[in-house]
Amino acid sequence: MSSRLTRLLAAAALVALTPLVAVPTQAAPEPPPAAKPTIVLVHGAFADSSGWQAVADKLTDRGFAVIAFSNPLRGPISDADYLRQFLTTIEGPVVLVGHSYGGAVITNAATGNENVKSLVYVAAYAPAEGESVAQANALGGGHTDVIDHLVLRPFPGAAEGDADAYIDPKWFHRLFAQDLPKKTTRFMAATQRPGALAALVSPSGPPAWEEIPSWYLVAKQDRIIPPEAERAMAKRAGATTVVIDSSHVAMMSHPGTVVSLIRKAAAG
């Protein structure tokens, strides 16, 4: 046997006798947790963003980024265009939350926006295409008296027959927020943001709720939007629905319930 072959056999024998050492394998890194969506809160007519304070505080405490959008209240299509442009400045997923007329705005603004993951309607309008806010009030056979207690004031550039609409302060507590302290609603009446009268009769565009999952809070004691209409809109949208004993401003009188609904929409 040649010396070269002898050396090769000896090396092979040494390898065979050497105990195998397990090489630790590096575990695959766990994927990072999904980013929480930004919660965009949209107020309605006769109100402003301050009505979301309790809800915004609770959501922020739970780690959500929250923006209370300032709604122009000029009409569902133009207001939705404004909100749609606003949403382009937000990175990542979004949950849109609308109260009252703000629901009509999110219904239009979210259409075709892939970043909007959920819609939440808080005693809000969720109109179908071609349907106005005034027409939506008649769904389910309900009735509202608010149209009989509006104060109209002119604004620059208004089309003929248009004006800014306010709820008569004498009726504000009774119609808008009867489950809040009168001292609170007195100031709300004095600081209310008017909505253009034309916004009540302007037809809505293609609804985002046809393609985006929605959640709906029905306020049983609502005197602005008939609860029957709220139920009908929620059912039509296929929304996950909760019903509570609240006035129109559920986000102020029942903020915990509203936050719970928003969190479910965010998780969904």
Measured between alpha carbons, how far is 239 from 107 in angstroms, rounded to an integer? 13
What per-residue confidence (pLDDT) applies to 17? 41
**C-alpha closest to that of 258 among 121, 68, 60:** 121
In a domain, 184, yes or no: yes
Q: Which two tokens stand for residue 6?
A: 């002898």
The stretch 93-109 carries a mean pLDDT of 98
What's 173's domain CATH number? 3.40.50.1820
Is the per-residue pLDDT at 187 higher than 90? yes
Other CB atoms within a 10 A radius of the CB of residue 114 amount to 10
Q: In whole numbers, what is the pLDDT of the chain averaged over residues? A: 91
Any idea of the CA torsion for 217, 221, 225, 231, to the nearest 10 degrees? 50
The stretch 149-168 carries a mean pLDDT of 96
Give the pLDDT confidence of 7-40 residue by residue, as tens digits: 533 444 443 444 444 444 555 555 455 689 999 9
The number of folded domains in the chain is 1
In a domain, 24, yes or no: no
In a domain, 6, yes or no: no
- Locus of tokens 């009726």: 171
The DSSP letter of residue 62 is T
Is the per-residue pLDDT at 249 higher than 90? yes
The DSSP letter of residue 202 is S
The stretch 187-197 carries a mean pLDDT of 97
In a domain, 13, yes or no: no
The stretch 152-180 carries a mean pLDDT of 97
Q: Which residues form the domain of 144?
A: 38-267
Give the pLDDT confidence of 231-240 residue by residue, as tens digits: 999 999 999 9
Is the per-residue pLDDT at 260 higher than 60? yes
**C-alpha closest to that of 105 among 69, 140, 139:** 69
In a domain, 9, yes or no: no
In a domain, 96, yes or no: yes
Residue 102: phi and psi, rounded to 5, are -60, -25
pLDDT band at 206 (very low <50, low <70, confident <90, very high): very high
Give the pLDDT confidence of 59-72 residue by residue, as tens digits: 999 999 999 999 99
Is the per-residue pLDDT at 248 higher than 80? yes
What per-residue confidence (pLDDT) applies to 35? 81
What per-residue confidence (pLDDT) applies to 116? 98
Who wins on pLDDT, 121 or 3?
121
Who wins on pLDDT, 32 or 262?
262
In a domain, 12, yes or no: no
